[in-house]
């Protein structure tokens, strides 16, 4: 019986680690959630620490247009756009238009430092 409990406990830990890795980034959220939909990344929470990202496959010559809003009760939240490696990151602002120079994987990332509040990032490709 103890052996079954150990196996069950280890399985639960493994599932938790795998599911956390699928979320994109290393972060901790209290009393809320970050939602990832097509063309929209938004969050509403009591506390967010760490980073959360969404990866996009984009083609050279296309343009990505951002809409961005953040409501802060405490802490800091910053949003970035850049290549998948984390190089050439730029800070996302509302109405930012970025022309893709090279086909590949790109990342939209939010970084919270004791952030309490909400945010929404919308994008469309032109």
pLDDT (tens place) for every residue of the chain, 126 residues total: 444 444 444 333 433 333 333 336 677 888 999 999 889 999 999 999 999 999 999 999 999 999 999 999 999 999 999 988 777 899 999 999 999 999 999 999 999 999 999 999 999 998
Show the domain range for 113: 28-125
CATH number of the domain residue 42 falls in = 2.60.120.380
What lies within 8 Å, CB to CB, of 116 at 6+ separation is: 45, 46, 47, 48, 72, 73, 74, 75
Report the number of distinct structural domains present in the chain: 1
Do the domain assignments include residue 60? yes
The pLDDT of residue 24 is 66
Residue 70: inside a domain = yes
Could you give the CA distance from residue 94 to residue 65 in angstroms, rounded to a whole number? Answer: 9
Instruction: Confirm whether 15 is domain-assigned.
Output: no
Give the CA radius of gyration of the chain.
17
> 43 with 37: CB under 8 angstroms?
no
């Amino acid at each position: 019986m103890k052996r079954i409990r150990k196996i069950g406990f280890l399985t639960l830990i493994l599932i938790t680690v795998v599911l956390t890795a699928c979320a994109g980034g290393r972060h901790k959220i209290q009393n809320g959630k970050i939602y990832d939909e097509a063309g929209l990344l938004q969050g509403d929470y009591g506390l967010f620490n760490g980073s959360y990202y969404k990866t996009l496959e984009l083609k050279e010559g296309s343009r990505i247009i951002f809409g961005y809003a953040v409501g802060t009760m405490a802490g800091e939240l910053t949003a970035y756009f850049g290549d998948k490696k984390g190089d050439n990151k730029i800070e996302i602002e509302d109405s930012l238009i970025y022309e893709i120079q090279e086909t590949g994987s790109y990342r939209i990332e939010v970084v919270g430092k004791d952030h309490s509040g909400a945010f929404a990032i919308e994008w469309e490709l032109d």
